Amino acid sequence: MTGTTVAPSAVLKPDAVRRSRLADPAVGIWLAAAAVIVLGWIVVALAGGQLLTRTNITIILSNSVALGLVAVGQSLVILTGSLDLSVAYLISLGTLVAAETMASGSVLTAVVAVLAMSAAAGLANGLIVTGLKVNAFIATLGTAFILRGWIEDNYTGPAGKVSASFQHLGYDRIGPIPVSIFLLAAVAAVLWFITRRTRLGHHMYATGGDEHAARLSGVRTRRTVVIAHVLCSLCVGAAALFLAARLGSGAPWAGTEARYDLDSIAAVVLGGTALAGGRGGVLGTLGGVLLLAVLDSVFNQLSIDPFFKNVVRGVVIIAAVALYARRGSRRTA
């Protein structure tokens, strides 16, 4: 095709508008967390306190570990278009299994036992969702009831004893940094790697984005969902081990008192992962966890009453999701 002049570049310009990186929720949530830190620091300073003391940083970080571990696992499941409401009871059971095993056996056996039990629970969740085709909300609510029944029937209070050597995980720190944060960092890094760099990760996004389309493209969608559930439960197992190290024994309320089920979902959604799946990621979730932890710390410093504290959390979550929804619709308008 010689002789024709080259079309003007305006015609060839892609119809995709380059979106600013700020529009990416994963970036936005970290900026929001940074803003909350600055604002919190100012507010606390005005009240005569100091937000960023060494001890306070340690508290914020170690408070983030358990929720962080659960939330990054939850991100995977939600990305894949599923959901896990059984995480809180699985944590409780995990701490009990860890403490009881350590009371009579070695630390290694306990770790293996907790992770194996978690994987089994995740496998069960995954198979119920994919095999029996039960909606994830109901399926995991069901397993949550089963776990709760088991726990309440067998335990009335703290049980078992965590080895002194294992408690280092809960309390040791390097400078102001608790060592447990490295556990969270490692788990998050592995999950980030899986979601961004492996085929499994791509298939998770695809399955969550449009399960039918993914299946038609040759993705084994059921297997993907099952694996996401197993990985999530392994993260929950890790959280249980951390909490056991913190508590020194197993506790039936370890997971439920802090509401890890709903809080983890809140952190995931706050971090920009679509509840319907297919969009978002682990990094955003970590930002969500940090934001919630800083918010908590600020409120504790100001000794604000718990009711108001929860109101603010609720408003923050709703505002964040409303913001994401706005962004999503502007594109199509």
Binding footprint of another protein on the chain (CB under 8 A): 7-8, 11-12, 14-17, 197-199, 201-203, 205-206, 209-210, 212-220, 278-279, 331-332
* Closest separation in Å from C-beta 166 to another protein: 33
* Closest separation in Å from C-beta 129 to another protein: 19
Q: Quick one: which H or E segment has residue 99? A: helix 87-104
By beta-carbon proximity to another protein, the closer residue of 197 and 259 is 197
By beta-carbon proximity to another protein, the closer residue of 61 and 219 is 219
By beta-carbon proximity to another protein, the closer residue of 12 and 164 is 12
* Closest separation in Å from C-beta 272 to another protein: 12
* Closest separation in Å from C-beta 19 to another protein: 9
* Residue 207, helix vs strand vs coil: helix
By beta-carbon proximity to another protein, the closer residue of 246 and 279 is 279
* Amino acid occupying residue 45: A
By beta-carbon proximity to another protein, the closer residue of 12 and 22 is 12
Residue 208 and residue 330: Cα distance in Å, rounded? 22
319 Cβ contact partners less than 8 Å away, ≥ 6 residues apart: none
* Closest separation in Å from C-beta 186 to another protein: 18
By beta-carbon proximity to another protein, the closer residue of 25 and 250 is 25
By beta-carbon proximity to another protein, the closer residue of 35 and 276 is 276
* Amino acid occupying residue 37: I
- What region does 17 belong to: left with phi over 0, alpha with psi -120 to 50, or beta? beta
State the SS3 of 20-73.
CHHHCHHHHHHHHHHHHHHHHHHHHHHCCCCCCCHHHHHHHHHHHHHHHHHHHH
Q: Is the separation of the CB atoms in 96 and 158 below 8 Å?
A: no
* Closest separation in Å from C-beta 202 to another protein: 5
| Cβ neighbourhood burial of 16 (10 Å; 0-12, 13-18, 19+) | exposed
* Closest separation in Å from C-beta 172 to another protein: 33
273 Cβ contact partners less than 8 Å away, ≥ 6 residues apart: 25, 75, 78, 79, 279, 280, 281, 284, 285
By beta-carbon proximity to another protein, the closer residue of 26 and 238 is 26
134 Cβ contact partners less than 8 Å away, ≥ 6 residues apart: 128, 142
Backbone angles phi, psi at 250, to 5 degrees: -85, 145
* Closest separation in Å from C-beta 333 to another protein: 8
289: number of Cβ within 10 Å: 31
